[in-house]
Structures are given as C-alpha cells and as structure tokens.
Amino acid sequence: MAREGKAKVLSESEFKRLLIVAKAGKMSTRNIALIYCSFGLGLRAKEIASLTIEDIADSNYQLLDEVCLKRAMTKGEKQRYAYLVNKKVRDALQAHLNDLAGVDKKKPFFQTQRKSRFTPNTMQKWFKALFNKAGVVGASSHSGRRTFITRLIEQGVDIKAVSRLAGHSNIVTTAIYVEDNPDRLRRLANLAIL
C-alpha cells in the first residue's frame, strides 16, 4: 500500500498487467518502451519527455550503452546517467528505435499519436490513463521511479549506488522512496536470530 501522498509501488503482477494493456493498445512498441524507461531506468516523466533520438541512439540508430540526462532534463538540474544494460530495457528501447530509423535525430524519442513532443504534463496523463486501464489503483507517473528504487533496495543494492542512479544528492531522499514492504520486513526480522 502506498503511503499517503506517495505514488504506488507496483507488484510484479500489476507490472505484468500494465505490459499486457500497453501491448494491446495503439503504438504498442512505443508504449512498452515508455514503461521500461520509467520502471527499468527510474526516469521521471519530465526526463522521459525530454529525450531525443540522439540522446538514445548512435548514427546507425543503434541503442547507446548509457544516456546522459542533461541538466535541463532533470529535476534540480543535476546531470546524471541512465545505463542501458538490462536486456528487457534494451530490447524495448531498440524495438521503438527501429520504428524511428531515418527520422531526424533531433526529434523526440517519444511522440504523441499526433507526432508531437510529450510535455511532462501529457506524459503524466498518459501514464495515469494506462494505470487506470490496467486497473492499477493509486499509481501515477512516479510509480515507475518508486518501484525502480524500491526493487533495487530490496535486492540488496547499496543505498548510495541507488541514490546515484536516481540522481538524489542525499541518500535520505532515496530512503523516503522505498516502500515499507511487510513481506520484506518479515524476512529481515527472521535474519535477526543468532
């Protein structure tokens, strides 16, 4: 359950349901890539909306290994890198990139159905509509980012590294993102016995 005022952290089954709904809709390749930018890279709606083809691809329209999120793209104008190393993320982004081969590389990586750039606001609305269609209650465009951060922490990644990936200047901010998962807390409590 999400804390009051916080975006929901999705379960694995909710995430799978989200992918099913995204695949069934128009522009499914783009939709899947959008989901993986949020849940697989932890990007904010503004950051996703700001991406251009040249941010993501080389001259042959092949996916780069890392994306430089420039200061103007990020909250607090903190430059950081997103690493395109996860196979599912790479496959989703490359599939969308293949659809864009030959398009001017200065163009947005993600475009609306009308071929215009997403604004951060329209990106947030797009995610909200997708969550509603998938029946995921309490989720917002920030749910992917919270899920990304929470899952990394739950898998034992040190909070300082997660903080760097998230672009937080203080690990206290990162800690606030982590959902208190009762199942995880039970497992951890079990480890306390000598």
Residue whose structure tokens are 């349901």? 17
Counting the structural domains of the chain, the total is 1
Whether the CB-CB separation of 175 and 70 falls below 8 Å is answered with no
- Is 174 a domain residue? no
Distance (Å) of CA 187 to CA 182, 184, 190, 192: 9, 5, 5, 9
Range of the domain at 86: 12-137
182 belongs to a structural domain: no
pLDDT of 3 reads 47
Specify whether the CB–CB gap between 123 and 87 falls below 8 A. Answer: no
> CA 59, CA 31: separation in Å to the nearest integer?
24
What global pTM score does this model have?
Answer: 0.90
Task: Please state, in angstroms and as integers, the Cα–Cα distance from residue 88 to each residue in 33, 67, 91, following that order.
Answer: 10, 16, 5
Residue 126, domain member (yes or no)? yes
Domain-embedded: residue 190: no
pLDDT at res. 1 = 43
Q: State pLDDT tens for residues 60-100.
A: 999 999 999 998 898 888 899 999 999 999 999 999 999 99
Residue 121, domain member (yes or no): yes
In a domain, 151, yes or no: no
* DSSP type of residue 73: G
Q: Give the CATH number, domain containing residue 46.
A: 1.10.443.10
Paired tokens of 59: 């001259």
With respect to residue 146, please indicate whether it lies within any of the assigned structural domains.
Answer: no
- pLDDT tens for the chain, residues 1 to 194: 444 568 899 999 999 999 999 999 789 999 999 999 999 999 999 999 999 999 999 999 999 999 999 988 988 888 999 999 999 999 999 999 999 989 999 999 999 988 899 999 999 999 999 999 999 999 999 999 999 999 999 888 999 999 999 989 889 988 887 767 676 677 777 776 66
Q: How far is CA 121 from the centre of its chain?
A: 16
> In this structure, is residue 22 part of a structural domain?
yes
